[in-house]
Amino acid sequence: MGRGLLSHALHTQIAMHGEYGGVVPELASRDHVQRVIPLVRQVMLEANVSLQQLDAIAYTQGPGLGGALLVGASVANALAYALDIPTIGIHHLEGHLLSPLLSDPAPEFPFVALLVSGGHTQLMRVNGVGQYELLGETVDDAAGEAFDKSAKLLGLGYPGGPALARLAALGRTGRYKLPRPMLHSGNLDFSFSGLKTAVLTLVRQSEPDEQTRADIAYATQEAIIDVLAHKARAALAQTGLTQLVVAGGVGANQLLRSRLSDDIGRRGGRVFYPDLEFCTDNGAMIAFAGALRLAQREGSKEYRFNVKPRWNLQEITS
């Protein structure tokens, strides 16, 4: 654990998914098969470490697409079997949750985490490694999904989040106001599915020109960020904690970052973000969570392909 992150590499499938307007599971896993060994070679070379020096191999055990998970699990288990070292299966969201600890300055336990990705929107109280308490979550679409679906309605490419954010930068304030569902629900849950319906209605009504599309993008981003910031503040108030950690792909959104830092900073709190490259999906956060987990519990030498496409974070809370 002492030496920190020695090297990391990423092959993004964004261009491939972009051609199809979204993820095609079979294509994703076939591409994984071709990429994973060269990537492993590359990081080992860059880190100047031999396979024989490894103590364990971490891999994403779930949740996610079964085929893609199986590629990682197979390679990790086969390599570990050959080297006679343990594997450690990591929950994808635990990787996101702990990723801000890779940055300097890092938060200290306990903290509140706002997990905002393409598949999840959750507020968690994080007391330590493996100690996660769910405070609230979306009852329908995830925040990333709201970005992606609205972007699609506005004719933008994949992934929609960054594209919508870019278009929103050209939008004007005050022209449209979109709903903020559950803003005053009194709990820490979210709902985003109504937003895409509202965007659809606007798009259909106005046959939008470029400026109108930018104004709609602006209002969409505002609505999502407003709800996220409001609930994150409420989570800090409810728990009495002062540190907020933002993780997951939507955490790369610059406006969300500045809004949260302003809002929470003004109230005496502090917001921590993973470096941008560790915000969206990456292998370093899985390796890092694996190292923290190994300090707590032993890895496995059973070498089984027990991936979990559906896997609740609560199940790994100790």
| Residue 166 CB contacts under 8 Å (≥ 6 apart), including other chains | none
Q: Which does 144 bind (CB under 5 to 8 A by kind): ligand KG4, Zn ion, none?
A: ligand KG4
| Minimum distance of ligand KG4 from residue 228's CB (angstroms) | 11
Taking CB under 6 A as the rule, which mask of x and - marks residues 225-264 in contact with ligand KG4? -----------------------xxx-xx-----------
Q: Which does 119 bind (CB under 5 to 8 A by kind): Zn ion, ligand KG4, none?
A: ligand KG4
Which residue lies nearer to ligand KG4 by CB, 51 or 170? 170
Q: Which does 160 bind (CB under 5 to 8 A by kind): ligand KG4, Zn ion, none?
A: ligand KG4
Contact set for ligand KG4, span 99-138 (CB under 6 A): 117-119
Contact set for ligand KG4, span 265-304 (CB under 6 A): 280-281
The two beta strands, 131-137 and 57-62, are unpaired
DSSP string for 190-223: B--HHHHHHHHHHHHHH---HHHHHHHHHHHHHH
- Whether the link from the prior residue into 179 is cis, omega within 30° of 0, is no
Residue 84's Cα: distance from chain center in Å?
32
Count, residues near ligand KG4 per rule CB under 6 A: 18
The sheet that has 121-128: what strands, in order across it?
A: 131-137, 121-128, 111-116, 243-247, 270-272
Q: Which of 62, 89, 136, 144 binds ligand KG4 (CB under 6 A)?
A: 144
Which residue lies nearer to ligand KG4 by CB, 102 or 252? 252
Which residue lies nearer to ligand KG4 by CB, 77 or 121? 121
| Minimum distance of Zn ion from residue 117's CB (angstroms) | 4
| Minimum distance of ligand KG4 from residue 72's CB (angstroms) | 14
Burial of 267: CB neighbours in 10 Å, binned 0-12, 13-18, 19+: exposed
Give the residue from 251, 310, 255, 293 showing the smallest Cα distance to 96.
251
Which amino acid appears at position 13 of this protein?
Answer: Q
Phi, psi at residue 138, to the nearest 5°?
-75, 145
* Positions that interact with ligand KG4 (CB under 6 A): 117-119, 144, 147-148, 159-162, 165, 248-250, 252-253, 280-281
